[in-house]
Amino acid sequence: MITKENLKKIADYLYEIPKGFRSDMCVPARIYADEKLLIAILEDRSLEQAVNVATLPGILKYSLAMPDIHQGYGFPIGGVAAIRWDGGVISPGGVGYDINCGVRLLLASQLSRPDLNNKASKLMDALFDAIPSGVGSTGKLILTKQELNKVLEQGMDWAILKGYANTEDKQNCEESGKISAAKADKVSDSAKGRGQDQIGTLGSGNHFLELQFVSEIFDQKIAKAFGLFPNQITVMIHTGSRGLGHQTCTDYIRILNKKIYEWGLKLPDRELIYAPLDSREGQDYFSAMSAAANFAWVNRQYLTYLTRNVFKKVLGRQAELKLLYDVAHNIAKKEIYEIDGKEIEVCMHRKGATRAFGPGNKNIPENYRKVGQPVLIPGSMGTASYILAGTKAAEEETFGSVCHGAGRSMSRASAKRQITGKQIKEALEKRGIMIRCASYGEIAEEAPLAYKDIDEVINVVTKANLAKKVAKLLPLGVVKG
């Protein structure tokens, strides 16, 4: 078990487990945290997992852990690793089962909190009726296998062709909502079967659609560039690739586990299974994972389409919703960084971590290029969420990565033992936060007490200059699985 004595303080909010901590480490492990967050982080195996990640072949500079880190499958959730593309590896544990779980934020360009008046409850009812949520939820959009294959390979381009998106939506997605390496034939029939009726669904767990308002602006210049103003109504959508992504991860972990002895892998943790990027299995997984990522972008886009329709129906034409940005936080992608004066292609693993590119980066939309990429950080249910902007410092220190949320401090089972979903619903409604849910049990699992303090997590990444604080969002209503 790793203790505080094993950590070396590098700077304020930055700690390191040196490379010499264990003989199999290729690089040090670095953790962004403050003293209080460290106490929670040290209670599980997440730092041990960060050390395990530091043993992966081809890993560059550091194994990184964000302040919302907690124990995951193979990689910690909140873990980041840049692995050399040539001669390196790819790990399903570095992406997770919910491939391209991510967040998008919609802005009502002409709608502020007072404009809702007595229509907020009607709006929440309509959103809950329109948007399927909960375990195994299915949508009204049922695709043929041929159409699903197009979704998997075309991503947001398919949504535009079908009229569910516009070109501005595509521009405001990470990777423009499509990874071109995707190959539909690398996704199994069983995974496709699970995905055929799940576009436009939230699912369960910590996924949600939240009606919010801008409660505070910290940086006027960046807020203006993002199109934000005080009391503005926003909608945050958090979901991923649903059963299709989960099955894809399951399929390839099974395939890779059969290759352990053939490849002569010595794993510190069986869950940290990986494949050489130049192997057939490594390329197949990357193509299938990319296809699942494209599916997730379409899923969030169709949810956007449904949400826009509800807003227009309930509030009228002035309730137009613009997509600020869409970011993934469970993904592996090819990215290029300058390391020791050379540009190097890496397989960038972000597992419960958000891309945060700084001003001038050509990979972010031109509208935001002068101020940095919008970074969307949801809080736990009933707490604040934040809009940040990426920095050049993040690109230099963390491969352009920050946290993805508050981070769990308690298991789902423990949360359900301490509080009921009904109690949470009643407490939030007393605060004026409307809850629409498919199951009280799902609410209990996502109780605010099960998560770290979002304000502390945001404080660490902003004080460490990995992102700039732009605006704070507070919830008005939540649709949960």
Q: Indicate which residues carry an active-site annotation.
A: 404
Burial grade of 338 (CB within 10 A; 0-12, 13-18, 19 or more) = exposed
Q: Which of 323, 313, 375, 297 is nearest to 108 (CA)?
A: 323
* φ, ψ of residue 304 in degrees (nearest 5): -65, -45
Token pair for 393: 């410092």
Render 34-80 in DSSP notation, one character per residue: -HHHHHHHTTSSHHHHHHHHTTSTTEEEEEEEEEEEE--SSSPEEEE
For residues 424 and 73, what is the distance between their CA atoms, to the nearest angstrom? 28
What contacts 334, CB < 8 A, 6 or more positions away?
85, 181, 345, 346, 347, 348
Measured CA distances, 109 to 121, 226, 324 (Å): 21, 11, 10
Measured CA distances, 365 to 225, 305, 362, 377 (Å): 12, 21, 8, 19
**Beta strands 208-217 and 467-480: pairing type?**
antiparallel
Angle (CA) 211-313-473 rounded to 5° is 15
Distance from the Cα of residue 232 to its chain's centroid: 23
Render 191-250 in DSSP notation, one character per residue: HHHHHTT-TT---STT-EEEEEEEEEES-HHHHHHHT--TTEEEEEEEE--HHHHHHHHH
SS3 100: coil
What contacts 157, CB < 8 A, 6 or more positions away?
170, 177, 178
**What DSSP state is assigned to residue 374?**
E
For residues 185 and 333, what is the distance between their CA atoms, to the nearest angstrom? 19
For residues 399 and 355, what is the distance between their CA atoms, to the nearest angstrom? 8
